[in-house]
Amino acid sequence: MTNGFPTAAKAAEILERVRQTRPRVHCLMNTVVQKFTADGITVVGGIPSMTTSLEEIGAFVTKADALTINLGTLDADRRKVIRFAAEIARAAGKPWILDPVHCDYSPSRLAFARELIAFRPTIVRGNSAEMNLIGDVPNAVRIETGPVDHLRDATRDIRIVNGHPWMAKVTGTGCLSGGVIAAFMAVEKDALTAAAAALAVTGVSAELAARHAKGPGTFEAAFLDVLSEISGEDIINHARIEHEQG
């Protein structure tokens, strides 16, 4: 059976499922935006965990419902734990998302991102500079975010036209989206639909938050406020999920 195209009503329904089931999301997150990402997962209804200890990662990934691996701050120890987590996720069939942060800055990081893609992430998401270098990811959902988000899998190609320019003025909105997408993948098997829903929910939340903010600082707080209580009706009224089939 081929999967259909995601809708705003479906996005609202998946958010409700996250709120009801409270999935656990393990984050191998860069050291810059750990708190913001954990807050994003918490306010949508998930339960974040953040350990990077090699001794513990096996237990944490095994108990998690989904995993996000973010390459923002890498060193030898992190590479080791990330490799191990990707291996476990693959063996256990856990949904996981790779965010190849700054792979456009360093050939060794790009090579590491490619090595991880061989462990079959469910989704790879980055900004346009990063995804231009990553290229195609035939066995995963490929997401390039920016003013418009482009998502594609083997059969579908869609755009999310929500969001606000202040999202690019707060460090880590992309990293946070990796955590929220993981929470949505934990409750929705169709990864492209899960990701579209997560990006529509965060994008609409940003638009509503911007109405109450004075600039990036107050926007960051308002964004978490709105994300914590956004209604299905707001999502249905404002989400812009587009594709060529209508």
Ligand X SMILES: Nc1ncnc2c1ncn2[C@@H]1O[C@H](COP(=O)(O)OP(=O)(O)OP(=O)(O)O)[C@@H](O)[C@H]1O
Q: How many residues interact with Mg ion (rule CB under 5 A)?
A: 2
Indicate the pairing of strand 149-152 with strand 141-145.
antiparallel
H-run or E-run covering 65: none
CB of 92 to ligand X, least distance (A): 27
Between 146 and 216, CB nearer to ligand X: 146
Which chain residues interact with ligand Cc1ncsc1CCO by CB under 6 A? Answer: 30, 32-33, 72-73, 101, 171-172, 175
Q: Which of 101, 123, 158, 206 binds Mg ion (CB under 5 A)?
A: 101
Beta bridge partners, 243, equal 158
CB of 169 to ligand Cc1ncsc1CCO, least distance (A): 12
Beta bridge partners, 124, equal 98, 142
Q: Which does 147 bind (CB under 5 to 8 A by kind): ligand Cc1ncsc1CCO, ligand X, Mg ion, none?
A: ligand X
User: Which long-range contacts does 49-52 make (Cβ < 8 Å, 24+ apart)?
Assistant: 49/24, 49/25, 50/26, 51/26, 52/28, 52/77, 52/78, 52/81
Burial class (CB in 10 A: 0-12, 13-18, 19+), 168: middle
Q: What residue number has its CB nearest to ligand Cc1ncsc1CCO? A: 72
Distances (CA, A) of 113 to 32, 71, 99, 118, 217: 19, 8, 9, 9, 32
Between 101 and 151, CB nearer to Mg ion: 101
Token digits of residue 228: 């914590």
CB of 30 to ligand Cc1ncsc1CCO, least distance (A): 4
Question: Which single residue is written with the structure tokens 């989904």?
Answer: 66
Residues 156-195 that bind Mg ion (CB under 5 A): 174
CB of 203 to ligand X, least distance (A): 6
**Does residue 123 belong to the site contacting Mg ion (CB under 5 A)?**
no
CB of 131 to ligand X, least distance (A): 9
Between 88 and 220, CB nearer to ligand X: 220
Are the beta carbons of 28 and 82 closer than 8 angstroms? yes
Between 23 and 100, CB nearer to ligand Cc1ncsc1CCO: 100
Between 88 and 97, CB nearer to ligand X: 97
H-run or E-run covering 123: strand 123-127
